[in-house]
Amino acid sequence: MGTWDAGPYDNDTAADFCGSLDDAEPARRGEMIREVLRAVAETTDYLDSSYAERAIAAAAVVVAQRSGVPTDSPYAPGFLSAGGTVALDAEVVPLAVAALDRVVGSDSEWRELWAESADPDEALRTVADLRAALTG
């Protein structure tokens, strides 16, 4: 099953991205997060859901890093669950906000797929909560 819940890590694509972060050298993780967020924030093409799912997971890592609270999701990066950190520069927060805005905007497969689900508001709430944590 590709998606099993509305949480930021609760789909195969996000879990794979988190596994890639765990496998990467710690010094490379921040750049991996920026790359995903930048790709989504800057695209003007139709946004494929797999890119959106990675961007949501990346934004969730940024939120967890900023809050300093380890995540309890079994699908989150293991280094975060263990209380680890990732080096992020100041540009990553506005980039994450822009990526999340793109995910829920028009021309997004992620939004279209969730609109067809039994509870589309739950997924939109997840993204809105991440955005609020980044801007609040």
In this predicted model, what pLDDT tens digit does every residue of 56-97 receive, in sequence order?
A: 999 999 999 988 777 888 999 999 888 888 999 989 999 999
Give a yes or no: residue 28 inside a domain: yes
Q: How confident is the model at residue 1 (pLDDT cuts 50, 70, 90)?
A: very low
Give a yes or no: residue 4 inside a domain: no
Give a yes or no: residue 6 inside a domain: no
Of residues 118 and 116, more confidently modeled? 116
Give a yes or no: residue 5 inside a domain: no
With a cut of 80, say whether residue 114 has pLDDT above it: yes
Q: Is 107 left (phi over 0), alpha (psi -120 to 50) or beta?
A: left
Give a yes or no: residue 7 inside a domain: no
pLDDT digits (tens, 9 = 90+) for 5-35: 899 999 999 999 999 999 999 999 999 999 9
Give a yes or no: residue 3 inside a domain: no
Q: How confident is the model at residue 38 (pLDDT cuts 50, 70, 90)?
A: very high
Give a yes or no: residue 74 inside a domain: yes
The burial class, CB within 10 Å (0-12 / 13-18 / 19+), for 38 is: middle
Alpha carbons within 13 angstroms on the beta-carbon side of residue 21 total 33
CA–CA distances in Å: residue 41 to residues 27, 36, 47, 109, 118: 23, 9, 10, 15, 27
Give a yes or no: residue 120 inside a domain: yes
Note down the domain range covering 121: 12-135
Instruction: Domain count for the chain, please give it.
Output: 1
